[in-house]
Amino acid sequence: MSVPLLIVDDSGFSRKAMLKCIPEGWDVDITQAANGEEALAALRKGLGEVVLLDLTMPVLDGFSVLESIRDEGIKTKVIVVSADIQPKAKLRVVSLGALAFLQKPFDKKSLAAILAECGVYSED
């Protein structure tokens, strides 16, 4: 069965880059969101078993999305993908329940490695 994968980033370029880097063998059903509110709406509909989440976004940022996921008890696996490389940003997202942090810019290899590390996709 396809895994509902939610890609959240305000940059259209960045979303395209993520799409291109999704491992070819991974059977996913992809939804895209351009800000935190759109992301939460998709999550509430069950469209995000796995989420690739940007932090710096208009309307509602990634930190707030993580807080809502926690507060609403939404079951999902979040990997934060961000250019905000402050050590405290990483600590914060992990304490808010994110599984991992992937620094931008990323490539196919680093995304595949993180997905494997989080146990959501493995090439073998």
Partner 1 sequence: MKTESLNEEENEILQEVINIGMGQAGASLAKLLDVFVNLSVPRVSWVNDDDFVVKVGELVAGSDDSWAGVRQAFYNQLEGEAFVLYGTNGCGQLADLMGYDNNEGMAQEELLLDVTNILIGACLVGVAQQVDKEIDFAAPTLVGLDKPIDDLLYSRDREWDQCLLIEVNFHLEATNFACHLVMLMSEGSIEQLRSGLLSFMESY
* Chain residues that interact with partner 1, rule: CB under 8 A: 10-14, 16-17, 20-21, 55-58, 82-89, 104-105, 107
Distance CA 81, CA 1 (A): 25
Distance CA 8, CA 43 (A): 11
Q: State which residue, 38 or 84, has the beta carbon closest to partner 1.
A: 84
Alpha-carbon 17 to chain mean position: 13
User: Shortest gap between Cβ of 13 and partner 1 (angstroms)?
Assistant: 4
Q: State which residue, 77 or 84, has the beta carbon closest to partner 1.
A: 84
Distance CA 53, CA 124 (A): 25
User: Shortest gap between Cβ of 60 and partner 1 (angstroms)?
Assistant: 12
Q: State which residue, 48 or 62, has the beta carbon closest to partner 1.
A: 62
User: Shortest gap between Cβ of 92 and partner 1 (angstroms)?
Assistant: 8
105: preceding bond cis by omega (within 30 degrees): yes
Q: State which residue, 8 or 47, has the beta carbon closest to partner 1.
A: 8
Distance CA 75, CA 69 (A): 8
